[in-house]
Amino acid sequence: MNKDLRKFSNGDILISPSLLAADFCQLGSQITEVAAAGAELLHLDVMDGKMVPNISFGVPVIESLRGRSELLFDVHLMIDRPLFYAEKFVKAGADHVTFHIESSDDPAETIKEIHRLGVTAGMSLKPGTPAEALFPYLDDLELILVMTVEPGFGGQSFMADQVAKIAAFKQEIARRGKNIHIEVDGGIGAKTAPAVLEAGANILVAGTSVFRHPEGMAAGVAALR
């Protein structure tokens, strides 16, 4: 299984189920099931209770899951000090690390450190931050993550006004001729996926619509496809 984001084209449609929506008493079997359902990535939301108003899980959980899965671990650091913690998460098993422009650490230094650790780097932004805030860093990134909810909690409603931000990134990426993935996270399901894909996204983060689909995870992934 491919664990290097650079080996995918930004024209490939990829599914990254969000672990936040899984049954935490059954994590091992649930990620096995979601891989069998056809997901290419596993989205791991790390929250510190400071940059976002919630606390999720950290290094020990990712380290434990790494031994159970060959999925590409798509680690989203919603934390205030990504530069300080990046190495710990890569050693735990992250294949890709995304951090926020709103964090306290220097963005350029954080990207450089993530690449030094041998994995791909992504940047994300909250709904209130304009797309242009990330433009100075685009040439050094493999992924942009557009949040279509306020980060911190799963199960929120999709914010349609963020679709224009996806289109802005797509246009700028095309202008530069880069193979940068555009990932979207927040309220993504069969009804909202078409709009973000049409705008230019190619990686769909979906929690509730996959892990809690009434007909099972395979049906959830198939509905997104």
What pLDDT digit, counting tens, does each position of 27-86 carry?
999 999 999 999 999 999 999 999 998 999 999 999 999 999 999 999 999 999 999 999
Query: CA 222 to CA 225: how far, in whole Å?
Result: 5
Query: CA 65 to CA 27: how far, in whole Å?
Result: 8
pLDDT at 27: 95
Beta strands in the chain (DSSP E): 14-17, 41-47, 72-78, 96-100, 120-125, 143-147, 181-185, 203-206
> Of the listed 4, 12, 45, 161, which one is catalytic?
45
pLDDT at 157: 84
Place of tokens 């926020």: 100
What pLDDT digit, counting tens, does each position of 179-203 carry?
999 999 999 999 999 999 999 999 9
23 is catalytic: no
Burial of residue 153 (CB within 10 Å: 0-12, 13-18, 19+) is middle
> Of the listed 80, 95, 105, 185, which one is catalytic?
185
185 is catalytic: yes
The neighbouring-strand residues paired with 16 are 205
What pLDDT digit, counting tens, does each position of 137-149 carry?
999 999 999 999 9
CA angle 5, 8, 11 (to 5 degrees): 130
